[in-house]
Chains A and B, each alone.
Chain A
């Protein structure tokens, strides 16, 4: 493990601890939903970090197609894998939050449907990489898919504006100030930073492992 990785790991651990303290100790009980609203501190950062991860896949894929840099391909691969993990957490926690508040675990609402499409598309991306044995071909095909798949990110985010949905509009990444008390926003931001650090730690580790795997193959 490199020193940068170790530092990121410790920072992510500290961030997650701070996030838990903010979510359960500092943020007050929400007046309408009660304590079940505390799932938001997990659900919202998970999707925002997934957007970040898939945005990195997009940029790294363009760089790979431009100059065939193996490092960019490894970054895209690692970022997609971590992004899928965070999207899975977002979908699962959303279903758990939906049951007591909406009365259902799942509904084919525009936001839920577009997020699940994004999840399946990036799973397909990982599957495509695993199925093609020739490393260069796998990287090229995956880069094209990584660019096309990114079209789903704005679709997910703006789905709540473009269609009538059960899901509420975005809490962050919206025009104007967040429609919440500053304490809720602070708790959300601390958790977002913690998740972003965790994303950085996982991705750095995965990139290094992918490089070692490749060196082993070519040795």
Chain B
């Protein structure tokens, strides 16, 4: 029987593509989550404007 190396290469190549593709998908999702977490953290830590003066007195009725 002929060796059919092209079929062997196709099988191993396809498996490498599928496994590599799934791995890349996981890494991309991981990066997205880290970036989103960083954005949320930065928004939480952003300093809020604090009043410098007590403001006008509240008129008494």
Contacts and interface: CB of A to CB of B under 8 A. Distances in A.
Contact of B14 (A29, A93, A99, A216): A93
B4 interface: yes
Interface size classification for chain B: 20 to 34
Interface stretch (A36-44, A61-69, A122-130, A161-169): A36-44
Interface string A181-219: 000000000000000001000100110010011001001
Interface size classification for chain A: 20 to 34
A85 B40 contact: no
Contacts of A35: 3-5, 8
Given A35-B4, A36-B7, A97-B11, A209 B22 contact: no
Contacts of B29: 209
Contact of B19 (A33, A34, A36, A85): A85
B11 A42 contact: yes
Contact of A205 (B1, B5, B26): B26
A177 interface: no
B19 A100 contact: no
Contacts of B4: 34-36, 100
A46 interface: yes
17 contacts: A32-B1, A33-B1, A36-B3, A36-B4, A36-B8, A39-B7, A42-B12, A42-B15, A89-B19, A92-B11, A92-B14, A92-B15, A92-B18, A93-B14, A97-B11, A100-B7, A212-B37
